[in-house]
Amino acid sequence: MRRLVVGLSGGVDSAVAALLLRERGWEVHGLFMSNWEEDDDGYCTAAQDFQDARAVAAELGIALHRVSFAAEYRERVFRHFLTEYRAGRTPNPDVLCNREIKFGVALRYAERLGAEVFATGHYARLIEGAEGIELHKARDASKDQSYFLHAVAPRELARTLMPIGDLEKRSVRERAREAGLPVFDKPDSTGICFVGERPFREFLGRYLEDRPGPIESADGETLGAHRGLSFYTLGQRSGLNIGGRPGRRELPWYVAAKDPRRNALIVVQEQDHPLLLSAALATGPLHWLTRARTGPFPCTVKVRYRQADQPATLEPGTDGTARIVFERPQRAVTPGQYAVVYEHGRCLGGAVIESVAPHGAT
């Protein structure tokens, strides 16, 4: 019997992935990964997640291995996360976690356990195409996770199975319930893995120093003071502590820009103010999951996970970067986040957003 290792997180998705693969005749082993040192403040759920993974493994009759990749996570993911925030950018650590940890050190560990294949409970589909393995969106569009997988190397995807990519979330829970898996109704985890449910700014404050500066309107009026540019993101509405201002409309304020040179936070009142809209963006080196394109081509793009696909034209640069021009201006496009490119449901790759061109710019 061929051996396979599935990343068993203690949630329903990875549990059903293990169930389906066992039904297909694989010798399934589970791997529970600890990627963060447990805190004593009640926000970390790793201990309970491990107990849930143990219960699932016992119900399925499979071996469960436990390993800590906390040191690798600190070095390869969290260090970058803090560096980006200190620079006033907004990173997405889940993309690096997939590339460096789940499909990096964890896959290598699975090989040492004798696995021919690594498997996960991601909502995405891997399809064999003319050029090799292709990453496609999941059937359940509301749960699709291909955005977070765009930076994984094709050679790693080729050694991976994602068996729930063709299922709706409700079907996954029903399969778990029918099989007697104890996590069938466990709520989905939310937020960044190492932050958990704790207040995000409180967490950042443990690692980043305050650097107070002015909060200014687009026309230069000082409206208040900010804690530090690192603690704010474009489009943010809450936490600005700007009260009513004489001569200003009673409307909420939104973060529209950061000026690192003056340590100033620029805010506007209209949700779709021109300063919040971008006509185009420039990326860093683009990670292709297909053959690199050399000329402009139409595509769709996501600039954040929950966003609907946006029609655009991608213009590859000669240095491996790209310029992406949107058909319609996009709101709160954020440097440090990722622009992920699609073509008819297939993920072509993506890159870090380096800069944006404001609406109205040529």
CA distance 279 to 236: 20
51 contacts 15 by C-beta, under 8 angstroms? no
193 catalytically annotated = yes
- Residue 227 CB neighbour total at 10 angstroms: 19
- Strand 160-161 with 117-119, pairing: parallel
Catalytic residue among 44, 193, 299, 347: 193
DSSP one-letter code for 270: S
Three-class SS state of 175: helix
What are the start-end ranges of the H helices in the chain?
A: 12-23, 46-60, 70-73, 79-86, 93-96, 106-112, 146-149, 154-157, 169-178, 200-204
Of 291, 292, 314, nearest in space to 301 by CA:
314
CA separation, residue 39 to residues 80, 96, 198, 232, 328 (Å)? 21, 22, 11, 25, 44
Q: Which residues contact 108 (CB under 8 A, 6 or more apart)?
A: none
CA distance 144 to 250: 38
- Residue 163 CB neighbour total at 10 angstroms: 22
CA distance 46 to 348: 33
- Residue 40 CB neighbour total at 10 angstroms: 6
Q: Is 247 exposed, middle or buried (0-12, 13-18, 19+ CB in 10 A)?
A: exposed
CA distance 105 to 156: 11
324 contacts 315 by C-beta, under 8 angstroms? yes
Of 45, 37, 353, 76, nearest in space to 206 by CA:
37
Residues involved in catalysis: 97, 193
